[in-house]
């Protein structure tokens, strides 16, 4: 089966646990070069493709620590260019017999990088900084540094306190830099990454969503064979809609899109998504009303992780049941003389790269903050095999893909909505009444955000229903009712987020409408927490 790394020139990024590893991946892709993140402990013998170049990431460890992670020494024999970043530089030096020590001059923050005179003008050896001038502002975050460079290396840049801030091998395409080119604070960092992947590794920059569409459709056809059928988990969110459209282009009617009404969707959502997908996108979507089943299983459950797991498992139960129904219907048609149809073997999901990245750390899945229903919440013994065409993509790449597939702009720009839905925004037990209250408040909130023309400025906005009651006065009478918290964040990739600063009059209008129009609410608060330390959702 041709994987993406067989179809595009690929940079392999080996992750030593830095906070910024995924940003290296993004920067490569911004140069239209496909890059893939793998744990640093991967053995080259287990790698099924040959990368055009390797980047070693930073790390919280020190190379000389007893339990620090080290790369398979075979990478240095692979005859492909290698770039070490921060710990990656230290790791390369350590492996190739240089020396690394704790330094007296820790550098956290900005530094001025002085690029050494390039002696050998045209040789590829010093190509990393070619054309970038003599000095650049970079961002550092290290306590260790090289005190002796490995044999056959030379220095290509220094800072006031780090004499070996960048080094290169005399004859091989090995480079190491102490600063972090992947963060935007390193002003020309993206260009440095470009020099490495384009000039030194010679990657073609053809990783574009146009190219991806054609290749992915071909890949899906190959996976499914000429008869295989796919059932699709489609929520009306950006990811699953794009995945569904791709699947529809690939296998047409052999794709069955299913939206599950789990009883914790937003107001009128099932109806709206049904119309949008059937009418505007020509995708044959069935809405399955499983709200009683979900709500009965959620009864009296307050624990956030329990809610998430119940919903994840129930989704799969419903999909397996629907797959069985589709097969039974086909068997019936066959009895009436129709051609035999293939089995429903696959379940399409709109899983994205950030969901996957979280689970590939070399220490195993990173500390579980919350179980995403479509990754950790899956049933252990599920029969359907997963097919996830967006598994290697970031959200903004998916949005580009959506536009190319002619998915209407309002859908492409939709804020994300989690599969466990309002169940993780109702802080106490989930009941139909609590769902009603939250649906109405949330609907007013989003409506007013749209009216104010702010929807596309905000990455995600939603209301949360708190389980506490507060005293109020309405029409001269005392009330004792629940509280709504409003949340709105701006974020590039949802791994970090800032709370959004609303104009006061918009908040005033939202608050007044919610308390006036939603029975059961007499107070509205605004959440001013960033992520970290909070998360986007409350549960
Ligand atoms: N109500 C639902 N019915 C069917 N499938 C669902 C439902 N909710 C979530 N899913 C499945 O779970 C996956 C992950 O949900 P997630 O919310 O991350 O993605 P999305 O809904 O497609 O897009 P967005 O992130 O924009 O909301 C979806 O891609 C879809 O496959
Ligand atoms: O499909 C989903 N299933 C889930 O279980 C889930 N949990 C969180 N989210 C969404 O992920 C982003 C980050 O949210 P957190 O900061 O709360 O982890 C935000 O966009 C959240 O809405 C989910 N999406
Ligand atoms: N950011 C990094 O990669 C840091 C590497 C190493 N832990 C140091 O402090 O120097
Ligand atoms: Mg969603």
Q: What is the pLDDT along the chain (539 residues), one digit of tens a residue?
A: 678 899 999 999 999 988 889 899 999 999 999 999 999 999 999 998 999 999 999 999 999 999 999 999 999 999 999 999 999 999 999 999 999 999 887 888 899 999 987 655 555 447 999 989 899 999 999 999 999 999 999 999 999 988 999 999 999 999 999 999 998 889 999 999 999 999 999 999 999 999 999 999 999 999 999 999 999 999 999 999 999 999 999 999 999 999 999 999 999 999 999 999 998 899 989 999 999 999 999 999 999 999 999 999 999 999 999 999 999 998 898 898 888 888 899 999 999 888 777 666 565 444 556 666 676 666 677 888 999 999 889 888 999 999 999 999 999 999 999 999 999 999 999 999 999 999 999 999 999 999 999 999 999 999 999 999 999 998 889 999 999 999 999 998 787 889 999 999 999 999 999 999 999 999 999 999 998 889 999 99
Strand order in the sheet with 82-85: 34-39, 10-15, 53-56, 82-85, 174-177, 166-169, 153-158, 99-115, 135-148
Instruction: Judge whether 240 is annotated as a binding position.
Output: yes
| Ligand 3 atom at minimum distance from 60 CA | 7
- The whole-angstrom separation of Cα 223 and Cα 212 is 16
Q: What distance lies between CA 186 and its chain's CA centroid?
A: 23
Q: Minimal CA–CA distance to 91: which of 25, 36, 14?
A: 14
What spacing in Å lies between the alpha carbon of 417 and ligand 1's midpoint?
7
What spacing in Å lies between the alpha carbon of 307 and ligand 4's midpoint?
16
From the CA of 377, the nearest ligand is 2
In short, whether 524's Cβ falls inside 6 Å of ligand 1 is: no
Residues 212 and 373: beta-carbon distance below 8 Å: no
Is residue 417 helix, strand or coil? Answer: coil
- Residue at token pair 């935007």: 184
Residue 236, Cβ density class (10 Å: 0-12 exposed, 13-18 middle, ≥19 buried):
buried
Q: Considering only CA atoms, which residue is closest to atom 4 of ligand 3? A: 142
For residues 23-53, b (16+ Cβ closer than 10 Å) or e, as one string? bbbbbbbebbbbbbbbbbebebeebeeebbb
Q: Considering only CA atoms, which residue is closest to atom 11 of ligand 1? A: 233
Q: Is 40 a catalytic residue?
A: no
What spacing in Å lies between the alpha carbon of 186 and ligand 4's midpoint?
34
**Residues lining ligand 2, judged by CB closer than 6 Å?**
308, 370, 372-374, 416, 418-420, 460, 494, 531, 535-537
Token duo for residue 166? 């960048």
Q: Considering only CA atoms, which residue is closest to atom 25 of ligand 1? A: 416
What spacing in Å lies between the alpha carbon of 236 and ligand 1's midpoint?
7
Residues 342 and 225: beta-carbon distance below 8 Å: yes
Is residue 135 helix, strand or coil? Answer: strand
Helix (H) or strand (E) holding 91: helix 87-95
- The whole-angstrom separation of Cα 218 and Cα 221 is 5
Strand duo 166-169 + 174-177: pairing: antiparallel
pLDDT (0 to 100) of residue 118: 65
State the angle between helix axes of 291-298 and 304-335 in degrees (0 to 180), rounded to the nearest 10. Answer: 150
Q: Minimal CA–CA distance to 123: which of 156, 92, 79?
A: 156
Q: Point out the catalytic residue in the list 5, 28, 31, 86.
A: 86
What spacing in Å lies between the alpha carbon of 372 and ligand 2's midpoint?
7
In short, whether 312's Cβ falls inside 6 Å of ligand 1 is: no
Q: Point out the catalytic residue in the list 180, 248, 256, 372.
A: 180
From the CA of 259, the nearest ligand is 1
Q: Judge if the upstream peptide bond of residue 533 is cis by omega within 30 degrees of 0.
A: yes
Handedness of CA 399, 403, 404, 405 (dihedral sign): positive
Q: Which of 18, 71, 90, 101 to mutate to test ligand 3, by most ligand atoms within 8 A of the CB atom?
A: 90
| Ligand 1 atom at minimum distance from 352 CA | 18
Q: How many CB atoms lie within 10 A of CB 379?
A: 16
Helix (H) or strand (E) holding 247: helix 238-251
Q: Point out the catalytic residue in the list 36, 91, 107, 182.
A: 182
* Residues in a beta bridge with 487: 462
Within 160-235, residue ranges assigned H as helices are: 189-194, 209-224
Q: Does the ipTM exceed 0.85?
A: yes
The residues, any chain, with a CB within 8 Å of residue 467's CB and separated by 6 or more, are 426, 427, 428, 482
From the CA of 264, the nearest ligand is 1
- Residue at token pair 């939206």: 259
In short, whether 420's Cβ falls inside 6 Å of ligand 1 is: no
| Ligand 3 atom at minimum distance from 143 CA | 9
What spacing in Å lies between the alpha carbon of 31 and ligand 3's midpoint?
26
- The whole-angstrom separation of Cα 352 and Cα 404 is 18
Instruction: Judge whether 239 is annotated as a binding position.
Output: yes
Q: Minimal CA–CA distance to 92: which of 126, 66, 119, 57?
A: 57
- The whole-angstrom separation of Cα 478 and Cα 288 is 42
- The whole-angstrom separation of Cα 4 and Cα 2 is 7
Strand duo 255-261 + 285-289: pairing: parallel
Q: What distance lies between CA 514 and its chain's CA centroid?
A: 33
Instruction: Judge whether 228 is annotated as a binding position.
Output: no
Q: Is 86 a catalytic residue?
A: yes
What spacing in Å lies between the alpha carbon of 527 and ligand 2's midpoint?
17
What spacing in Å lies between the alpha carbon of 371 and ligand 4's midpoint?
14
Q: Which of 316, 350, 372, 423 to mutate to test ligand 2, by most ligand atoms within 8 A of the CB atom?
A: 372
Token duo for residue 105? 């001059």
Q: Which of 141, 145, 177, 179 to mutate to test ligand 3, by most ligand atoms within 8 A of the CB atom?
A: 141
Token duo for residue 330? 């086909």
Number of H helices, E strands in the chain: 15, 18
Within 15-71, residue ranges assigned H as helices are: 21-30
In short, whether 260's Cβ falls inside 6 Å of ligand 1 is: yes
**For residues 15, 21, 27 and 31, what is the CA-based torsion angle, rounded to 10 degrees?**
10
Q: Minimal CA–CA distance to 536: which of 417, 440, 390?
A: 417
From the CA of 236, the nearest ligand is 1
Instruction: Judge whether 235 is annotated as a binding position.
Output: yes
Instruction: Judge whether 300 is annotated as a binding position.
Output: no
| Ligand 2 atom at minimum distance from 371 CA | 5
pLDDT (0 to 100) of residue 366: 47
């Amino acid at each position: 089966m041709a994987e993406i790394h067989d179809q595009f020139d690929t940079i392999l990024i080996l992750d030593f646990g830095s906070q910024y590893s995924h940003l290296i991946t993004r920067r490569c892709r911004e140069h239209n070069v496909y890059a893939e993140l793998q744990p640093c402990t991967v053995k080259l013998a287990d790698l099924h493709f040959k990368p055009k170049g390797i980047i070693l990431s930073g790390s919280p460890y020190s190379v000389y620590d007893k339990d620090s992670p080290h790369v398979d020494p075979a990478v240095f024999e692979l005859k492909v260019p290698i770039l070490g970043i921060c710990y990656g530089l230290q790791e390369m030096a350590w492996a190739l017999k240089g020396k690394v020590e704790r330094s007296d001059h820790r550098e956290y923050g900005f530094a001025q990088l002085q690029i050494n005179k390039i002696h050998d003008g045209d040789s590829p050896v010093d190509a990393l900084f070619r054309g970038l001038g003599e000095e650049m502002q970079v961002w550092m975050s290290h306590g260790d540094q090289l005190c002796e460079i490995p044999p056959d290396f030379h220095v290509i840049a220094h800072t006031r306190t780090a004499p070996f801030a960048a080094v290169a091998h005399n004859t091989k395409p090995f480079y190491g830099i102490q600063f972090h080119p992947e963060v935007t604070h390193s002003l020309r960092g993206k260009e440095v990454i470009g020099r490495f992947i384009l000039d030194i590794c010679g990657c073609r920059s053809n990783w574009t969503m146009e190219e991806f569409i054609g290749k992915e459709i071909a890949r899906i056809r190959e996976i499914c064979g000429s008869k295989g059928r796919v059932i699709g988990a489609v929520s009306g969110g950006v990811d699953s809609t794009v995945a569904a459209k791709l699947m529809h282009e690939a296998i047409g009617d052999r794709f069955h899109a299913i939206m599950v009404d789990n009883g914790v969707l937003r107001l009128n959502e099932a109806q709206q998504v049904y119309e949008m997908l059937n009418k505007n996108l020509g995708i044959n979507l069935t809405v399955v009303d499983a709200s009683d089943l979900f709500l009965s299983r959620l009864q009296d459950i307050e624990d956030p992780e329990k809610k998430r797991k119940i919903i994840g498992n129930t989704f799969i139960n419903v999909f397996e049941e629907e797959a069985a129904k589709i097969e039974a219907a086909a068997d019936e048609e066959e009895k009436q003389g129709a051609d035999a149809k293939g089995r429903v073997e696959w379940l399409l999901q709109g899983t994205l790269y950030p969901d996957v990245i979280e689970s590939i750390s070399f220490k195993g899945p990173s500390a579980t903050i919350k179980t995403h229903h479509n990754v950790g919440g899956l049933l252990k013994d599920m029969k359907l095999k997963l097919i996830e065409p967006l598994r290697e993509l970031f959200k903004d790449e998916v949005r580009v893909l959506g536009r190319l597939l002619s998915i209407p702009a309002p859908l492409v720009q939709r804020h994300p909505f989690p599969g466990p839905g309002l169940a993780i925004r109702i802080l106490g037990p989930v009941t139909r009444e609590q769902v009603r209250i939250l649906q109405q408040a949330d609907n007013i909130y989003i409506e007013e955000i749209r009216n104010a023309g702010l929807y596309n400025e905000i990455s995600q906005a939603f209301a949360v229903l708190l389980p506490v009651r507060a005293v109020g006065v309405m029409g001269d009478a005392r009330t004792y009712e629940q509280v709504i918290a409003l949340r709105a964040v701006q974020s590039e990739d949802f791994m970090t987020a800032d709370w959004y600063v609303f104009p006061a009059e918009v908040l005033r209008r939202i608050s007044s409408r919610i308390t006036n129009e939603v029975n059961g609410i007499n107070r509205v608060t605004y959440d001013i927490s960033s992520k970290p330390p909070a998360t986007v959702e409350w549960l």
